Amino acid sequence: MVPRVAAASLRSLAKWAPVVVVTGPRQSGKSTLCRMTFPSRPNVSLEPLDVREAVRTDPRGFLSEHQKKGVIVDEVQHVPELLSYLQDEVDKNGKPGRFILTGSQQFGLTQAVSQSLAGRAAMLELLPPSLSELRAFAGFRENMWDVIVRGSYPRIYDRKLQAREWLADYISTYVERDVRQVLRVGDLRTFASFLRLAAGRTAQELNLSTLGADAGVNHNTARAWMSVLRASYVCFELPAWHTNVRKQLIKAPKVHFFDTGVVCYLLGIRSATELKTHPLRGAIFETWCVSELYKSFVHRRKRPRFFHYRDAKGLEVDLVSDEGARVRLFEMKSGATIAGDFFAGVDRLQALLETKSGVVRTHVVYGGSTTSTRRTARVVPWNMLEPR
């Protein structure tokens, strides 16, 4: 497994927090990260039913066994009652970094941690690797469309698997196991259809009524199902930018998927060649860029304040990053040739914001290979999208 940026954050948290909880999507590399960061620490997975039952039956005995050296506990959401016993243990001995927990599902895990381990636990999110991390895999091919269609899940690159076959199993497991556990969904085919329709709306404003109607469910069901997609790290939303630059703003959030390989699989895009000519190639490229920036924040334990901007007069900007002392504006274009209209939105919004928000930096991310500065914007190739 390749080194992860989040390892530094994990080590830092373990220096002061008695319990560190690593959350994120299934197969994002949480267990491997913890084992690589703490190689001498015992590791216990609660995925096997017999181990799960043994810990559930005798939680005090389990914790007593590991009270000196500490332990990494994988898939802790399977035995949530362990957290209450863990509270008592760390109250007796608050030595930092003794217990490292991972959880694939966020369903209820964050709430359980906040209730049982308030003030005792630190949280770290781990998403699939960023481009800079994928480069460390042997034989990695840095072709833009190939990277986007394959996605970022590490097992695909580590085992050199066919992305489409692995993603098919991944989605099947997610729908048939994780979703059924949480929602008790009777008709999984309808939920699977909803998931595909949501993928077709990546990088677009979210209209739950329309999405629900297309999937054959009502608005409330669509809202509940979308909350599950968010909680399980399938997608995330960018709220509308609410600064009073103009009075009329379109306030619907944009939806983005965390992994473009999942998007391409759900949309039936089988290869880089098909993606190049697909009508949603621009939206999928935008989602890939936003996801890369999102990873660069959360893996360093920084909470991104990401928005999108669109007003009633047609001014749009793909991503607004509010970073306190400055605001950064991003426009994403999949074309490899720089065109003048790439800059229209960020230039106009920059002019409006600078009178109200102080320092504003603009960036245009595109599918080419040359870095430059045009007008006031920094032009960034897709494979050089690093935080600055």
pLDDT at 79 over 70: yes
Which of 6, 27, 1 is closest to 298 using CA atoms? 6
Model pLDDT, residue 358: 67
No. of helices (H) and no. of strands (E), the chain: 18, 14
**Cα–Cα nearest to 194, from 181, 174, 213:** 213
Whole-model pTM: value is: 0.92
pLDDT at 250: 66
pLDDT of amino acid 43: 95
If you average pLDDT over each of 125-139, 172-186, 232-246, which comes out highest?
125-139
Q: For residues 338 and 333, what is the distance between their CA atoms, to the nearest angstrom?
A: 9
Q: Which residue has the higher pLDDT, 317 or 69?
A: 317
SS3 327: strand
Q: Does pLDDT of 71 surpass 80?
A: yes
pLDDT tens by residue, 241-294: 876 555 456 688 999 999 999 999 999 999 999 999 999 999 999 999 999 999
Confidence of residue 175 (pLDDT cuts 50, 70, 90): confident
User: What is the C-alpha to C-alpha distance for residues 312 and 127, in angstroms, rounded to an integer?
Assistant: 34
CA distance 223 to 238: 16
The answer to whether residue 232 scores a pLDDT higher than 90 is: no
Q: Which residues of 183-216 are buried (b: 16+ CB within 10 A; e: fewer)?
A: bebeeeeebbebbbbbbebbbebbebeebbebbe
73, β-bridge pairs: 44, 101
> In degrees rounded to 5, what are phi and psi of residue 152?
-125, 5
Instruction: Supply angle C-alpha 258, 17, 131, rounded to 5.
Output: 25
pLDDT band at 352 (very low <50, low <70, confident <90, very high): confident
- Sketch out the chain's domains with CATH numbers: 6-125 (3.40.50.300), 132-384 (no CATH)
- Assess whether pLDDT exceeds 90 at residue 77: no
pLDDT band at 351 (very low <50, low <70, confident <90, very high): confident
Alpha-helical (H) ranges within the chain are 6-14, 30-37, 49-57, 59-65, 82-92, 109-116, 131-134, 144-150, 154-158, 163-173, 180-183, 188-199, 208-215, 219-231, 260-266, 272-276, 281-298, 344-353
What is the three-class DSSP state of 206?
A: coil
Tell me which residue of 146, 106, 125 sits closest to 28, measured CA to CA.
125
What pLDDT does residue 353 have? Answer: 82
Render pLDDT for 9-63 as a digit per residue (tens, 0 to 9). 999 999 999 999 999 998 999 999 999 999 999 999 999 999 999 999 999 999 9
DSSP state of 18: S
Residue 386 tokens read as: 């690093």
Distance of alpha carbon 130 from its chain centroid, rounded?
Answer: 10
Residues 6+ apart with CB under 8 A from 114: none
Give the span between the Cα atoms of 109 and 97, in whole angstroms: 19
CA angle at 303 for the pair 342 and 197, rounded to the nearest 5°: 60
Sort residue 223 into left (φ over 0), alpha (ψ -120 to 50) or beta.
alpha
pLDDT of residue 189: 85
